[in-house]
Amino acid sequence: MKVLTPRELPELFAALETPGAHMLAGGTDLLVRLRAAEREGRALPQALVRLDGVAVLRGIVREADGSLRLGAAATHAELLAHPLLRQELPELAAALCELGSPPIRNMGTLGGNICTASPAGDSLPPLMALGAEVELASLAGTRRMALSDFITGPGRTSLKPGEVLTAVIAPPARNFQVRHFEKVGRRGALAVAVVSLAALVRLERGRVAEARLAWGSVGPTVWRCPEAEAALMGQRLTLTALGRVGAIVRENVRPIDDIRASADYRRQVAGNLLLRLAVL
């Protein structure tokens, strides 16, 4: 495999024209998959195009409307070290804190976590709950779309050939009083989420005026439950109310069995995690 190291976006776009080229962000997922491909005798990309040299793809900027623009090639550790992240996006910070391990966070990038589009991607539930958008650029220009539209299935995105995920835009969410993320993994670090939940709840006079709930690892992509969100409207975050909504979640969720947990467990826990909102 050739390894290309562009420094600027035009160079990057040119590099992506190389036949058989594949983008290399942090490498924490891609290189593991290439290792498996090599072991199994499957074809490897002809060239890897590094994103870590393109400075414009990193960093956090606050935009005029208060949104945060997160560079897609920023590593998780870089984002976590930025004061704006913990301050403005505590649910995303909580998710990134538990992603992989310290060296994985030093290498892996937000854009990589998104484009891998794993059902268990740790950054995805909080970004979905926030209503984040992605910015995609290519020689043809730049476009923006909702993250929920960008990820189309496990491992599948709307990224076109020659296109690069350049940034993630998270709108402000300061008017949500409850901002919560919980990951259920099988151990304290280096764990793939078995179930995760990001919850943003806006209260008016103690009652739910808006609820955004997003679960990871219970479906092919991040799962939202409009029925549960609707059922929470007007409720106080009591055990009784949350228990009732948890039952709605369990009725609607369609998880699968895999090596980490059964569908039954995921269904049960997807509902249970809501109860935590009662004791925050």
Closer residue to other proteins, CB minimum distance, 31 or 140: 31
Smallest separation (angstroms) from other proteins to the CB of 242: 10
Closer residue to other proteins, CB minimum distance, 224 or 244: 244
Q: Which of 228, 104, 93, 98 is nearest to 173 (CA)?
A: 93
Smallest separation (angstroms) from other proteins to the CB of 194: 8
Closer residue to other proteins, CB minimum distance, 45 or 150: 45
Smallest separation (angstroms) from other proteins to the CB of 32: 5
Q: Which residues have CB under 8 Å from 242's CB, separation 6+?
A: 274, 275, 277, 278
Closer residue to other proteins, CB minimum distance, 14 or 278: 278
Smallest separation (angstroms) from other proteins to the CB of 42: 8
Smallest separation (angstroms) from other proteins to the CB of 3: 4
Q: Name the residues that contact other proteins, by CB under 8 A.
A: 1-3, 5, 24, 27-28, 31-32, 35, 38-41, 48, 50, 52, 77, 100-104, 106-107, 184, 186-192, 194-195, 239, 243, 246, 259-262, 265, 268-269, 272-273, 275-276, 278-279
Closer residue to other proteins, CB minimum distance, 160 or 276: 276
Q: Which residues have CB under 8 Å from 228's CB, separation 6+?
A: 211, 213, 245, 248, 249, 252, 274
Smallest separation (angstroms) from other proteins to the CB of 39: 6
Closer residue to other proteins, CB minimum distance, 132 or 201: 201
Closer residue to other proteins, CB minimum distance, 47 or 209: 47
CB 106 within 8 A of CB 94: no
Smallest separation (angstroms) from other proteins to the CB of 107: 6
Smallest separation (angstroms) from other proteins to the CB of 66: 30
Closer residue to other proteins, CB minimum distance, 78 or 133: 78
